[in-house]
Structure 1
Amino acid sequence: MAGPLSGIRVADFTWVWAGPFCTMQFAHMGAEVLRVETMRRVCALRMLPPWLDGPKVRAEAKRRGVSEKVAREVMRVKGKK
């Protein structure tokens, strides 16, 4: 998607509400958003049930421009590599 932030890559370490909303706005403006989570505390949106008669949260996030999700256990030595 072309926009004022095209060519910008954003690492999204946010967890709930304001953070994901801001990175969604970056994606709407053309930035590539890379979602980073730990397995211990995933984004609260993952805990919601599927939308009634519509896409699930992951599909909705992808539609809004979040290009990838990365889960890594950063507390372990293996995850820090």
Structure 2
Amino acid sequence: MAHLLGQPGCMESLRADLRDLQAAIADVSSRAGAVRVPSWKFPDQVSCELDVAALLERYRYRPGEPELSQHGHVVLLELLIDRY
């Protein structure tokens, strides 16, 4: 599966999953209130205050830059864990 690391289709699928998950979190938080706990990925920040849209923009596929794309792919996976 290492050959998929940094591939645009995989990364876009992860980005879509993160957007969907963040929307579900926002929906639940609007009804039950935000849970103020440290982020797993960014422990110096509160999880409910992460700017997921900015992170999705920052960590995306970068044509011609495979190392940055691979790093972005790993960060997207970590963000998915963080959101859960």
Same fold, TM-score > 0.5, yes or no: no
- Give the TM-score of the pair, scaled to structure 1: 0.25
- Give the TM-score of the pair, scaled to structure 2: 0.25
Report which structure shows greater RCO (CA 8 Å, sep ≥6). Answer: 2
Greater share of helix: 2
